[in-house]
Structure 1
Amino acid sequence: MLALSLASLAQVSAAPVAEALQRPAVQVKAPQRAALLSAAMAGNRIVAVGERGIVALSDDAGRSWRQAPSPVSVTLTTVRFSSARQGVAVGHGGVVLTTQDAGASWQLRLDGKRLAALTLEAAKAADSAPETLREAERLVADGPDKPLLDVLVWDAQRLLAVGAYGLAVHSSDGGQTWQPWMSRLPNPKGLHWYVARRQGDTLLLAGEQGLLAFSDDGGQSFRALTSPYQGSWFAGELQTDGHIVLAGLRGQVWRSTDAGSGWSALTNPVPATVTAMSPAPGGGLLLASQSGALLHLEGERLRPLPTPPLTLPAGLLTLPDGRLLALGLAGLSTLSLPAP
């Protein structure tokens, strides 16, 4: 997600969002040129999502694109797939969409109005503290103006979507029913969640003002982590070796090798906000910054790559053939990465 967009989330008007929840996505001639924020592989198909509910599909490794219908015209922020056909996308207006056919069609499973109502119902049922009840009532009164910014998928049934103002909702039946998880997470100030990552039963959530939460039991419980940096985290990865890498404002990049107990700062030669991160095809991680630079992290070394500048990158996806798909305000571009 773009740092500039994240900084202005609080200014989104509820009325236009509510209207956009009732309209299908605008149809465009070249969806690959729209502002696109996230992409994922659905088998051999690439599925990308972004502004005005646009969903773009490619079945030839990104050489050509077509638009798939979407039931909403709010911006979609993240897309993930649990299998070659089953996936989920989240976005503004508290939207959650699911697909059973590799992104060819989408069903609306949740919106901000229903999310707020569920939160108020849960607060009343739990006989919550007065402040918690007031926050739930405020969420209803505000209308569906708050975006979901990331989503975890265990499989086609189990989903966890997180977003602005501490929003967190979980489904165990593919989005048919939802349970608010805000009370489960250590976020007393209701700060924005920007990043959600999972490896097995290990979950990591990261966000505004250094906000960090960690679970090693599949989300049954979370604990707050002491953040090494008090600025916002916009990108992160839980690596297969158990290491955590987080990046965000002013080019800050940090690594933990002990489940977040301790952190080491990585020297970044490009001190610009990191907006996207992805596993690199040959190992390590790729990071994109707001300056347009692409960097390769291998071990403790961050190395700028000699690639063309990216235009406000929002997402990265490594393709099966080793090329890199970059997404942002200028649409999609594919890059051939230099040899290590």
Structure 2
Amino acid sequence: MHHLTESTRVNVMKILLLGALCITTAAFAAPPASRFVDPLDKQVPMYSHASIAPMLAVTRASNDIVAAGKHGIILTSRDGGTSWKQSKVALEADLVALDFPTPTRGWAVGHDGVVLTSEDAGKTWTKRFDGRSVAKLMHDYYQREMAANPDNLALRDALQQAEALLQDGPDKPFLDVWFKNEKQGFVIGAFNMILATEDGGVTWVPWLERTDNPQLFHLTSIRGDHENVFLVGEQGLMLKLDAATKRFVSLQSPYKGSYSGVAVQGKNVAVFGLRGRAFLSTDGGSAWKPLSTGTSTLLTAGTFLPGSALSLVGEDGTVLVSTDLGDTFKKYECGMGCYSVMPGSGQSLIVAGSRGVRVLPLK
């Protein structure tokens, strides 16, 4: 894996994935200690001012809103985002993505190969994986597969990647999590890291050899519906799940720059990323049209709203909303760097960003 970390790849990684994550303030820094404790082994302290911590993901669980961000801080709100309560979290790694396939069971992923799960709508979280156990899982899995299929070149390459992960240690982030339903889901991350589950997270299977990604580009976002599942990443990587072969196959990308996200609503698919670039397909990914976003900022997140409206947000605080499938956008400002967005109640958005979570009325 070391041969992949040349300066250009590192710079792209910083721009796309760490620009939003490097917001560090003294208020949330770990206190001095006489003995170092790995953040992967340390429970998140309870902060009196957690509601203003940088939040990098936001979603809904049951009747609550759940947000996650820096230093493993997770917040829940029962009143639509007016007030927040800090959750109990098993470790301090930065968390970048959330998904709740059921009203109470949720998943969070982040730096250092962290995968967390909650059974109570986000109030408490336990560790399912970190980079150490993920690397071992992948290595053991591909050793068994190679023993049964010694001439399979794809498995050989996957085993080499797993060996590199094991050697490097827990420094590779998971960058997104998405569940199709209570049982079927994926976690994805840097250098083509991908795991799939068919039993609600009881067991996970590496899919390193099941992606058309020979250069091991970073996988940044995965979204889908009951028919289509899309995965995007750096340098124009765009993949679609072939359910019959259980493989992510390459699509012709309209852009060679890096994508930070994908949003899916039926056959409507939006992809977006660097320099304000965004594209829309209305036929499940066969044809794409460029969207005139009117901004050059990094578009960090996006979501479809009821009625096929589309919202995109940027790291400079830009919030864009289109009600005509991207032909035109109305611009709002959320007053902070924006890193995640979801529909709010009525005519509003809920935006997670550099100073917590805000409810943005759409007027």
The alpha-carbon deviation at position 238 of structure 1 amounts to: 1.3
Q: Would you say 1:182 and 2:208 are equivalent positions?
A: yes
Deviates more, 1:120-129 or 1:223-232: 120-129
Aligned to 1:312: 337
C-alpha separation in 2, matches of 1:55 and 1:7:
19
Preserved contact between residue 301 and residue 314 of structure 2 (Cα < 8 Å): yes
Deviation digits for residues 156-205 of structure 1, max 9, x if unmatched?
33221001111001122332321111111111111111110011031100
C-alpha separation in 2, matches of 1:104 and 1:218:
37
User: TM-score normalised to the size of structure 1?
Assistant: 0.90
Unaligned runs of 5+ in 2: 1-12, 23-35, 147-151
Q: Would you say 1:6 and 2:6 are equivalent positions?
A: no
The alpha-carbon deviation at position 284 of structure 1 amounts to: 1.0
Q: Against the structure 1 CA distance between its residues 218 and 175, is the aligned structure 2 distance closer, same or farther, given a 3 Å change threshold? A: farther
Give the letter for the 2:176 counterpart: D
C-alpha separation in 2, matches of 1:57 and 1:144:
28
SS of residue matched to 1:301: coil
Identity %: 32
Aligned-residue RMSD, C-alpha:
2.3
Q: How does 1:1-340 map to 2 (within 5 A)?
A: 4=15, 6=17, 19-127=38-146, 129=153, 130-217=156-243, 220-240=246-266, 242-281=267-306, 283-297=308-322, 298-305=324-331, 307-338=332-363
Preserved contact between residue 56 and residue 352 of structure 2 (Cα < 8 Å): yes
Give the letter for the 1:269 counterpart: G
Aligned to 2:30: none
Preserved contact between residue 185 and residue 198 of structure 2 (Cα < 8 Å): yes
Q: Against the structure 1 CA distance between its residues 18 and 147, is the aligned structure 2 distance closer, same or farther, given a 3 Å change threshold? A: farther
SS of residue matched to 1:222: strand
Q: Against the structure 1 CA distance between its residues 70 and 77, is the aligned structure 2 distance closer, same or farther, given a 3 Å change threshold? A: same
The alpha-carbon deviation at position 268 of structure 1 amounts to: 2.0
C-alpha separation in 1, matches of 2:240 and 2:212:
9
C-alpha separation in 2, matches of 1:108 and 1:263:
39
Preserved contact between residue 158 and residue 170 of structure 1 (Cα < 8 Å): yes
Give the letter for the 1:268 counterpart: T
C-alpha separation in 2, matches of 1:18 and 1:118:
24
Preserved contact between residue 93 and residue 112 of structure 2 (Cα < 8 Å): yes
Aligned to 2:5: none
C-alpha separation in 1, matches of 2:81 and 2:95:
19
Give the letter for the 2:279 counterpart: W
C-alpha separation in 2, matches of 1:239 and 1:87:
21
The alpha-carbon deviation at position 124 of structure 1 amounts to: 1.7
C-alpha separation in 1, matches of 2:85 and 2:214:
43
C-alpha separation in 2, matches of 1:105 and 1:194:
26
Give the letter for the 2:206 counterpart: P
Which 4+ stretches in 1 moved above 6 angstroms? Answer: none
Give the letter for the 1:6 counterpart: L
C-alpha separation in 1, matches of 2:297 and 2:119:
39
Unaligned runs of 5+ in 1: 12-16
User: TM-score normalised to the size of structure 2?
Assistant: 0.85
